[in-house]
Amino acid sequence: MILYVNCCVRSDSRTHRLARAVLDKMGGKYTELYLPEEGLAPLSEQTLDKRTKLIEKGELNDDMFYYAHQFANADRIVISAPFWDGSFPSVLKVYLENIYAVGIVSRYDENGVPVGMCKASELVYVTTAGGEYIPDFSYDYIKALSQGCFGIKNTRLVMAQVLDIAGNDAEAILTNAIAQIK
């Protein structure tokens, strides 16, 4: 199963359009998780305590782990997140916070090093940027989590940038990015 984690809040999102082209190239069916409508919230003291107690007891089938199981069991993952203010939309961070459950997406070895438990063969991060794209606090962060904690070694970036620079043809840039998808 391909899991499509859609963080695009605009109905005419260029990032979503690029991600749909990636999904078309992948072929097959996919499950779309539209984060802006999922109602996810940052972990509070109460939910963090609940999660910790459930993990300590090995009770990993609680509803609060639904998204973690979905992520861990996906064969391939596509995340679409526009480049905003030097990063990605906050709903993606909240999602990551909610799926990071020890015993589902990762475990720790005897030295305290994370060992990934996700079965995905690849994670594709799709983004667009109005200006120059800087991956430091977006793709690089997702790549580090995927490879270092989730066990997803194959990650790749698909992006279109400088879409809103005066004189640039945003449609041509986006069309070219779509044509480059492998």
Q: What is the pLDDT of residues 123-182, one digit of tens each?
A: 999 999 999 999 999 999 999 999 999 999 999 999 999 999 999 999 999 999 999 998
What average pLDDT does the segment 10-16 reach?
A: 95
Q: What is the mean pLDDT of residues 70-95?
A: 97
Q: Does domain 2-179 have CATH number 3.20.20.80?
A: no
Residue 182: per-residue pLDDT: 82
pLDDT greater than 80 at residue 28: no
pLDDT digits (tens, 9 = 90+) for 50-81: 999 999 999 999 999 999 999 999 999 999 99
CB-count exposure of residue 169 (10 Å: 0-12, 13-18, 19+): exposed
Of 13, 33, 41, 34, nearest to 163 by C-alpha is 13
Quote the crossing angle between the two packed helices 170-179 and 14-26, to the nearest 10°.
Answer: 20
What is the mean pLDDT of the segment spanning 11-29? 95
pLDDT at 150: 98
